[in-house]
Structure 1
Amino acid sequence: MDLQRAGIGMVKKYSGVAIALHWIVAVGIMVNLILPYIWEAAGDENVRPLINTHKSIGITVLGLALMRLLWRLTHTPPALPASYKAWEVKASHAAHWALYALIIALPLTGWIMDSAWKDAAANPMQWFGLFQWPRIGPVMGLDEVTKKSVHDSFGEVHEILGYAMWALWALHVGAALKHQFMDGEKELQRMMP
């Protein structure tokens, strides 16, 4: 009997759509997590273009993350390897759902913060300079004092969520590398094209 046709020894992979969405979203998140550190040192004339790029990537990540979540809810992922301990399975599921929550919450808090920016009306948000992306109307319509409070509060939450994303990213990558290199599982191959 052909072992490959029987599925023995084969890596149970995610679908091509899930893999593509995973890596595009992952790259977008990494770029957006790094950009704030760059604009702090970029000089005043470069800050606004970097912030605008950050916003465009954030909105793109939000859309792709929602697509990925819908895909995940309608397509069963491959089973985790049988060698995983029960606590590892639970931790893996919890970490993945926490990642989904952060991937959606980060751009939403940024969008709300940007919509409450005092100069939002005078500086339309552009999606990679191609077209105007709408801000959240009810937030823009708030009185100036409330708007400043919303801007500052959501800005703080956005920053805290960014640190939480760094921590969860480190946990996610660390766990994948542990399973790959310490446990001998073909973990990375499950999410490679």
Structure 2
Amino acid sequence: MPHTPETNSAPEASHYSHPAIVLHWLVAVAMVANVALILSVEHIPEDWIRPAIDTHKSLGITVLGLALLRLLWRIGHRPPPLPSAYPRWETVSAHAVHGLLYVVIFWMPLSGWLHDSAWSEAATHPMQLFGTIGWPRIGLIENLPPSTKEPLHDLFGALHRWGGYVLYGLVFLHIAGALKHQFFDREAVLRRMWFSRR
């Protein structure tokens, strides 16, 4: 009987579904683009700053919508289990990082939306998604007296900024863990979040 060489390729059941993969990468690309955009604000001409910030807001709302779709999809479609060979600490760590990533992915656009709604000039600068579709502020915040909104604007801005730092750390851990398993442990984990061949 001929010998069949063992491979590290994951079986079909170990892949995420195609909608989950699409939503994962759309969220990832949108968030990377948004971080790059806001970090570039200090280095672009002054006339470009307001359009850049408006685009940052639009991308944030887009991420919020995509993340909500992904969460709803995940509720009805369980993700593939992690390989049983993982030590318990790695399994627990992976689930913890994934869970915190979900929290931060929602928190970033929500805190930005709250921050923008508390902006003192919000009434004179209507918010539009990519300059075309009107998007409301959070009325409960926007309609507060100016003396109340000002400290809230600072608070939500600080929470948004610190949430970004947490996001950077979690993304680093997420990528580092995937690369460790792919290249050091020789496990085909990256295929889990890519389109499989039927």
TM above 0.5, yes or no, is yes
Name which of 171, 182, 185 aligns with 1:183: 185
2:65 equivalent in structure 1: 63
Given residue 179 of structure 1, which amino acid in structure 2 is its aligned partner? H
Normalised by the length of structure 2, the TM-score is: 0.91
Name which of 146, 149, 154 aligns with 2:151: 149
How far apart in 1 are the matches of 2:97 and 2:75? 16
Q: CA RMSD in A?
A: 1.3
State the 1:9 CA deviation. Answer: 5.3
Q: How does 1:49-60 map to 2 (within 5 A)?
A: 49-60=51-62
2:11 equivalent in structure 1: 10
How far apart in 2 are the matches of 1:9 and 1:102? 29
Whether 2:87 is the aligned partner of 1:89: answer no
Aligned-residue identity in percent: 49
Segments of structure 2 that go 5 or more residues without pairing to the other structure are none
Structure 1 residues 159 and 9, CA gap change in structure 2 (3 angstroms): closer
Segments of structure 1 that go 5 or more residues without pairing to the other structure are none
- Native 8 Å contact 1:81 1:185 kept in 2: no
State the 1:158 CA deviation. Answer: 0.1
Aligned length, in residue pairs = 187
1:142-186: CA deviation from partner (whole Å, max 9, x where unpaired): 111111111110000000000110110000000000010001111
State the 1:58 CA deviation. Answer: 0.3
Whether 2:180 is the aligned partner of 1:174: answer no
Structure 1 residues 134 and 9, CA gap change in structure 2 (3 angstroms): closer
Q: Which runs of 4+ in 1 moved over 6 A?
A: none
Normalised by the length of structure 1, the TM-score is: 0.94
How far apart in 2 are the matches of 1:9 and 1:34? 34
How far apart in 2 are the matches of 1:24 and 1:174? 20
2:50 equivalent in structure 1: 48
